[in-house]
């Protein structure tokens, strides 16, 4: 029935989401290009405005012009709203508004929400949207309160409150935008555990996925977690811990990052440098000053990203988990992928490997294009920017601020595809699956 409804429509759910993101980006870019959006009261180059709008809607954080100094209060509010809309999903917000206005949520609306939120089915979706928005507002409110204890004494009540709200939204939505100016992110707060731990906590919660958050919230009542939540929590914890230990070791003596810090700050900033690449984009140490090993680890973390149905991007933790579980199962001589006393269908495994291959090809292709358009830049930095854009992370080695128009367009498309594309690929595999009725004879091929 669901498929028949989609087939009868002129646009399917995936197309509506894709077009919706484009319209939101173009509208946001138009507003940001107006004089009222800039601090100097002049028009902003439309390409840079669209780049910023794309980065905000796709919750990336890469910018070509400084967010803290270039935009007016109005422009910063527009960016914050674009981040919130892109992070939570415009269909979720539209559904919530419709509920408040007493409008009926049609089955078609539910199907679109299912695709947008990457849900298993359409049952209970409306209630889930209410939960999601409630969680999001509540978590961001607590985060803003914690940040205000540091920002209000430093910037005053008005500016301090606005900075607290903006950075709470940017952190939870895994956007990575900051208002401190001069592309410095939160480097000046490297020794402030309240700021760094609050932002890190918001990043982790925003990147877990709303389904996982709801299950964790209801754990006391149900006393169980789904296999999906177990995989997400296991992979997330493992990546954060391993990333922290690795960065701590390779950057320990690096004077450009944590080399001159005391032991507590070394651990704190190593932890933050491990959490932020999970598609958030904040940095408390110089990303360009990192060792080659540190940059490579950051690239890996950016590529994996957060979890499905969250504000994060990237390959996704569950997909990465399936790849790891499959390798382990093969090495153990098992015929099927297994974990937590459960087995995963071959269809799920095929989708995971397909998505991994597609993501790898995109990052490699974008890096190759950037190496042509930016021949004077280091390859590792171009790979860093390409991965950051695709994973909707926002971390930068400083390359993005000095690229040509062609490179900007490439990164705009990369950020957009990073936010919408992988979902499109998965749905294309699901919706276009056809049984041909033909089964070819089995053959052999040499592997390894």
- Residue 444, in any domain of the structure: no
Residue 198: name the closest of 132, 264, 139 by CA.
Answer: 139
CA atoms of 414 and 363, how far apart (whole Å): 9
Q: Is the pLDDT of residue 320 over 60?
A: yes
CA atoms of 404 and 402, how far apart (whole Å): 7
| pLDDT score for 12 | 56
Containing H/E element for 337?
strand 337-339
CA atoms of 268 and 191, how far apart (whole Å): 8
69 to each of 39, 108, 152, 199, 399, how far by Cα in Å? 7, 43, 19, 21, 19
Q: Which residues, in sequence order, are bridge partners of residue 343?
A: 338
Q: Is the pLDDT of residue 291 over 60?
A: yes
How do residues 79-119 score in pLDDT, each as one tens digit?
Answer: 999 998 887 765 455 554 545 445 555 545 555 555 555 55
Q: Are 280 and 394 in contact (CB under 8 A)?
A: yes
- Residue 351, in any domain of the structure: yes
Exposure string over 365-399, b if 16+ CB within 10 A, otherwise e: ebbebbeebbeebeeebbbbbbbbbbbbbbbbbeb
Q: What is the pTM of this model?
A: 0.85
Containing H/E element for 343?
strand 342-344
pLDDT band with cut points at 50, 70 and 90 for residue 339: confident
CA atoms of 365 and 347, how far apart (whole Å): 27
- Residue 439, in any domain of the structure: no
Helix, strand or coil for residue 398? coil
| pLDDT score for 58 | 85
pLDDT band with cut points at 50, 70 and 90 for residue 228: confident
How do residues 188-213 score in pLDDT, each as one tens digit?
Answer: 999 999 999 999 999 998 888 777 88
- Residue 174, in any domain of the structure: yes
pLDDT band with cut points at 50, 70 and 90 for residue 335: confident
Domain residue limits at 421: 2-431
Roughly how many angstroms between the first and final C-alpha of the chain, as a whole number?
44
CA atoms of 64 and 51, how far apart (whole Å): 7
| pLDDT score for 134 | 79
Average pLDDT of the chain to the nearest whole number:
83
| pLDDT score for 3 | 46
How do residues 24-65 score in pLDDT, each as one tens digit?
Answer: 899 999 999 999 999 999 999 999 999 999 999 888 888 889
CB atoms near residue 250 (< 10 Å): 19
Residue 95: name the closest of 87, 86, 105 by CA.
Answer: 105
Q: Are 382 and 364 in contact (CB under 8 A)?
A: no
CA atoms of 252 and 260, how far apart (whole Å): 9
| pLDDT score for 5 | 42
Secondary structure of 234-257 in the HEC alphabet?
HHHHHHHHHHHHHHHHHHCCCCCC
- Residue 282, in any domain of the structure: yes
- Residue 280, in any domain of the structure: yes
Domain count, the chain: 1
- Residue 443, in any domain of the structure: no
Q: Is the pLDDT of residue 351 over 90?
A: no
- Residue 438, in any domain of the structure: no
| pLDDT score for 108 | 52
| pLDDT score for 297 | 94
């Amino acid at each position: 029935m669901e498929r028949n409804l989609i087939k009868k429509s002129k646009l399917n759910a995936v197309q509506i989401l894709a077009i919706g993101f484009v319209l939101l980006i173009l509208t946001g870019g138009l507003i940001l290009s107006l004089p009222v959006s800039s601090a100097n009261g002049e028009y902003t180059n439309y390409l840079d405005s669209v780049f910023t709008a794309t980065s905000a809607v796709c919750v990336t954080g890469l910018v070509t012009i400084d967010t803290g100094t270039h935009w007016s209060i109005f422009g910063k509010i527009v960016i914050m709203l674009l981040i919130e809309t892109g992070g939570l999903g415009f269909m979720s917000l539209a559904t919530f508004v419709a509920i408040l206005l007493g409008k009926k949520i049609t089955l078609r609306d539910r199907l679109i929400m299912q695709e947008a939120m990457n849900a298993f089915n359409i049952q209970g979706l409306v209630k889930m949207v209410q939960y999601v928005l409630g969680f999001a507002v509540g978590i961001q409110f607590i985060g803003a309160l914690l940040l205000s204890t540091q920002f209000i004494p430093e910037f005053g009540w008005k500016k301090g409150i606005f900075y607290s709200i903006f950075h709470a939204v940017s952190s939870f939505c895994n956007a990575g935008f900051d208002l401190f100016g001069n592309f410095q992110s939160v480097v000046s707060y490297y020794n402030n555990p309240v700021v760094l731990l609050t932002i890190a906590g918001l990043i982790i919660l925003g990147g877990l996925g709303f389904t996982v958050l709801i299950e964790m919230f209801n754990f006391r009542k149900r006393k169980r977690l789904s296999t999906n939540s177990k995989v997400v929590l296991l992979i997330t914890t493992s990546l954060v811990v391993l990333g922290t230990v690795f960065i701590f070791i390779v950057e320990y003596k690096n004077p450009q990052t944590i080399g001159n810090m005391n032991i507590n700050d070394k651990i704190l900033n190593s932890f933050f440098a491990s959490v932020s690449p999970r598609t958030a984009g904040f940095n408390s140490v110089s990303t360009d000053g990192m060792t080659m090993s540190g940059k490579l680890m950051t690239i890996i973390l950016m590529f994996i990203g957060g979890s499905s149905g969250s504000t994060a991007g990237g390959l996704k933790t569950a997909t990465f988990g399936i790849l790891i579980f499959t390798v382990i199962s093969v090495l153990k001589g098992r015929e099927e992928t297994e974990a937590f006393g459960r087995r995963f269908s071959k269809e799920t495994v095929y989708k995971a490997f397909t998505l991994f291959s597609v993501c790898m090809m995109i990052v490699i292709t974008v890096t190759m294009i950037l190496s042509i358009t930016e021949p004077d830049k280091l390859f590792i930095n171009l790979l860093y920017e390409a991965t950051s854009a695709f994973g909707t992370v926002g971390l930068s080695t400083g390359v993005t601020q000095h690229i040509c128009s062609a490179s900007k367009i490439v990164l705009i498309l990369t950020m957009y595809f990073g936010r919408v594309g992988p979902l499109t690929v998965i749905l294309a595999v699901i919706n276009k699956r056809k049984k041909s009725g033909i089964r070819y004879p089995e053959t052999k091929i040499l592997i390894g």
